[in-house]
Chain A
Amino acid sequence: MRSSASKLSLCLLMTPFVLWIVLLVLLPHLQMLRVSFHVRESWDTVTLGLEQYQNFFSESYYWRTFVRTGVMSLFTTFLTLVIAFPIAWYIAQLARGRAKGFLFLACLIPFWASELVRTYGWMILLRESGLFSTWLQALGLADGPVEMLYNDAAVIIGLVYNGLLFMVVPLVTTLDGMDENLVEAGYDLGGNHWTVLREIIVPWAMPGVVSGCIVVFMLTLGSYLTPILMGGKDSAWFTEQIFTQFITRFNWEQGAALGVLLLVLSSVIVWLGLRVTGQNLRKVMG
């Protein structure tokens, strides 16, 4: 009686989770995987084949965008980490009481607006007739209007800004639990700032670093709005290719293949990241 009741409650608890995983994660991806191997022979006949993947490798525009997106995402993640670490250190170890909560909130505030609005905010600052351009001219540092949008740097600025919170939160969580005596002991035994950071603080923060990096990397790799709005002609993002295939060209087979490739890329890089840092998912995700 009792065991059947607990079984029932377990089933009820698990149902939404299982439904979510199966319906929203597993099925669409399996379907996508299947579609990616379709080769359309005429308007109503379909055979299986590798044509979509061959297209990807033979068409240099595809794989160049693919590699570019991967590399820029890695760089963005690294930059986000470098910027977020001191912020997180300050919030976790140096700020006290009310300041701590306030700073945390300050990191959160930008996320009350949508990604679209946040990106437009950056565009207001960076465009040719924007604030920075005006200031540079007023200070006499530039002769004419300066266009700072529509290049890779602008895209990276936008992406770093979008990812910052997701890096700061796990870092603050891990650094918060660190005994400040560890840092003092690091200095006391003869370490300088650099060795204390490298040998004591970073190893301690590693689970937070890795989990923050995974989240930011995945967000960046799969982001769509920021690269489109802030990037130029030459800064195509791989998600744009997928969008184009699905929506503009109505070539679902090719779009599906590109989607699968993006998934493979992110999985491989996350796996490599975990291997290199000697962490595992269970430790990182708590």
Chain B
Amino acid sequence: MASDLFCTDLVRRFGDHTAVDRVSLDVPAGTFFSILGPSGCGKTTLLRLLAGFDRPDSGEIQIRGARMNDVPPNKRPVNMVFQHLALFPTMSVGDNIGYGLRRQKVPAAERTRKIARVLEQVGLPGLEDRNPQQLSGGQRQRVALARCLVLEPTLLLLDEPLGALDLKLREQMKVELKHLQKAFGTTFVYITHDQSEAMVMSDQVAVMRQGRFDQVAAPETLYRNPATPFVAGFVGDNNRLSGDVISVDGDLVRLRLQSGEEVAGRIAGEGIATGRRADLFIRPESLVMNGAVPDGYSRMQATVTTTLFDGANSRIEAGVADQTIFARLPQDGSVSNLSPDSAIQLGWDPQGATVFAGEPV
């Protein structure tokens, strides 16, 4: 598949601080690409480089094979949905959407037709004459999308547009954005600090930290095979157990925890050797409890601290030495009556746990 956006070694520095540090990316046409990272990781700077509001210090930006470095934002086939939407408050909804069409010198009759059509596509038929201030948060969101999509850009950039919505609406808009992206077939580049948004909507997710991409992969790969301890900890819930490596056997490694327990996991990173420190990541839903632990599983003893009931997402919080670990409660109710301070045995398939070399202390 041809790539809509292709960047090589992008660098952007502010004084001593390198906000974007040798980032390369390749987004195939018609896909939903997310850049996920904590605030301050440089993702907004990267997006502004793509939109043209800022110039990279080095590196190259190509959109459909054309070099974009020196093209101003109003000449790029790229549109952006801003974090606070930036709908023009002095214009009606129709004029907001028509603004870009007028710049393209689309005749008035066709403009009216296109505005009506795109409003219908985003589910707001007939709202041309409203003021943006009269709309609800979700409606404004759609107008901001329609304003960009009506121009049929090669690339649509979205800067955490769901951040301002309340939780329920956000869940709804997540699904809707994905559907809209499929319906329009436009390539979306979406930045967010919310891993759930990135996971639900994206075909590919780049996890960004300190100006660099830690890993670029499909959501499921990120979840199952994180490339770095940061990705393991940032994407989805994860438990982290620190210990010393006591033996390495093929792709499996055994660790001794501070509590003296010995546990096993799969080697996922470089630099693991006997005697070195390492971190084992195991997801709450990969843990099995008490009698259900099959043979061949790594197991350890823990003490229940408390039970956190949350429907399908109910968990227990347990302590192992001074580390806290969360385990998902089975849905069939097979484990119950876990009173605080009771002992519990936790087990997991070593292949389901990932081990990375410990960060130098």
Residues of A within 8 A of B (CB): 179, 181-182, 184-192, 195, 199-200, 203-204, 206
Q: How far is the CA of A83 from the CA of B83 in the complex (A)?
A: 33
> In chain B, residues 41-91, which have Cβ atoms closer than 8 Å to a Cβ of chain A?
51-53, 72-74, 78-80, 82-84, 86, 88-91
Asked if B297 is at the interface of the complex by the 8 Å CB criterion, the answer is no
Contact: B100 with A181, CB < 8 Å?
A: no
Asked if B148 is at the interface of the complex by the 8 Å CB criterion, the answer is yes
A185: chain B residues within 8 A (beta carbon): 80, 82, 86, 88
B99: chain A residues within 8 A (beta carbon): 186, 189, 191, 199
Please indicate which of the listed interface residues B78, B100, B103 has the most CB atoms of chain A within 10 Å of its own CB: B103
Tell which of B72, B73, B86 touches A181, judged by Cβ atoms closer than 8 Å.
Answer: B86
Q: How far is the CA of A188 from the CA of B74 in the complex (A)?
A: 5
Decide if the interface of chain A is mainly helix, strand, loop or mixed.
Answer: helix
A190: chain B residues within 8 A (beta carbon): 74, 100, 103-104, 151
Q: How far is the CA of A199 from the CA of B101 in the complex (A)?
A: 13
Which chain A residue has the least Cβ–Cβ distance from B73?
A: A187
A-B contact count (CB 8 A): 62
Contact: B151 with A200, CB < 8 Å?
A: no
Contact: B80 with A188, CB < 8 Å?
A: yes
A181: chain B residues within 8 A (beta carbon): 82-84, 86
Q: How far is the CA of A148 from the CA of B151 in the complex (A)?
A: 55
Contact: A179 with B84, CB < 8 Å?
A: yes
B73: chain A residues within 8 A (beta carbon): 184, 187-188
Which chain A residue has the least Cβ–Cβ distance from B147?
A: A189
A231 to chain B, nearest CB (A): 40
| Given A188-B80, A190-B151, A192-B74, A182 contacting B86 (CB threshold 8 A) | yes
Which chain A residue has the least Cβ–Cβ distance from B89?
A: A204
B219 to chain A, nearest CB (A): 28
Contact: B74 with A182, CB < 8 Å?
A: no
B148: chain A residues within 8 A (beta carbon): 189
A264 to chain B, nearest CB (A): 32
Q: How far is the CA of A179 from the CA of B82 in the complex (A)?
A: 11
| Given A184-B73, A195-B103, A204-B90, A189 contacting B84 (CB threshold 8 A) | no
A180 to chain B, nearest CB (A): 9
Contact: B103 with A191, CB < 8 Å?
A: yes
